[in-house]
Amino acid sequence: MAKKRPQTKGKQPQLTDGQVPVVGAREPCPCGSGRRYKACHGRAAAHAVTELVHRPFEGLPGEGDWVALRELVPAATVELPLKDGLPDGVPSVFLATVLPMAWPALRRDDGSVLLGLQNDTASGDISRDLADTLQRALTAEPGSPVQARRAPADGPRLQDLLDPEGTFEPIVHAGFEFWVPDSENASPEVSASLERANAAAIPTVKLSGVDSAYWCETPEKNHLRWVMPHPEEQLLDALARLHAAGTSSLGEGTRLVGSFRAHGLTVPVWDLPTGMGAEDIEKPAAEFAERLATALGSEAPLTPEERRARGGLTNRQVTLS
């Protein structure tokens, strides 16, 4: 009987962390360690994917409006300028609050791209998930949606793809007709989705005199929801000072009712009378912004009354994300 030759394994090339590709969790790690991927480089990749980024839009122009469009505004679009310019065959890229059928993105027949913002994301970093969807949309076949997937842990973020010097100017729409250039000839599925979305949309208007403030109308009362960029503790102190002084309202019949956190920013909320429209709140909001700037600049300790006011605001604070 012939002797079997001893089998020898060739030495696996040792790769640096940046060179290790993503493979199946139970497959040998490509780095050559001999361990399964999930127990080696996959562990760090999984952690990076699930780690929550509290301010995913930080560093982007219009961070407050990004948060508002993600959490508050039913129907809006914004043109997105890319850092490296538009690829050939892509005439424009627009961010949209919601797309038909809850698509993450859509490459239209003319090559333009719509990127959906209010979709569920697979990781803890919305910015990375959106960037991955955007990159795939830019190369998708015209006339096709982009499906959801888990973004690579080392993939780019929106901050890497968008022009940091560009503007972010949302256009708020009354409905979702922007989904399709010719809504009358849309497919039955898209038409049904459009009808449902329009029926559920809350009338919303972006104020022009202050940043990231949105008026909305509900059957019971109207509201102003204002995304503010200031550090949370400093902002709550300032709001407490104004509340204790009786100057936290936006005029007769209005009331600061609390705030919520969203993507690392604080969003104060005012109740407004039913008859108070967006144009009626422009001047009071601008005047409040001046009072708030003064209160933010104060370094004096809070008085007992201001501390009680702060406690009330904190107790009515809700975290959305």
Query: CA end-to-end span of the chain, whole Å?
Result: 70
* Stated length of the chain: 321
Is residue 113 within a helix (H) or strand (E), and if so which, with residue range?
strand 113-116
The one-letter code for the residue type at 29 is C
Q: Residues 6 or more apart from 199 whose CB is under 8 A from it?
A: none
76 DSSP β-pair partners: 172
Main-chain phi, psi angles of 213, to 5 degrees:
-115, 135
What pLDDT, on the 0 to 100 scale, is given for residue 39? 75
What pLDDT, on the 0 to 100 scale, is given for residue 37? 67
What pLDDT, on the 0 to 100 scale, is given for residue 6? 43
Q: Assess contact for 29 and 42: CB atoms under 8 A.
A: yes
CA pseudo-torsion sign 72, 73, 74, 78: negative
Pairwise CA distance, residues 240 & 317, whole Å: 13
* One pLDDT digit (tens) per residue for the chain, 321 residues: 444 444 444 444 455 554 566 666 677 888 888 887 667 766 655 554 557 899 999 999 999 999 999 999 999 999 999 999 999 999 999 999 999 889 999 999 999 999 999 998 888 999 999 999 999 999 999 999 999 998 998 999 999 999 999 999 999 999 998 988 776 777 788 788 888 889 989 999 999 999 999 999 998 899 999 999 999 999 999 999 999 999 999 999 999 999 999 999 999 999 999 999 999 999 999 999 999 999 999 999 999 999 999 999 999 888 876
Task: Enter the pTM of the model.
Answer: 0.83
Render the burial of 246-285: b for 16+ CB within 10 Å, e for the rest.
eebbbbeebebebbbbbbbbbbbbbbbeeebebebbbebb
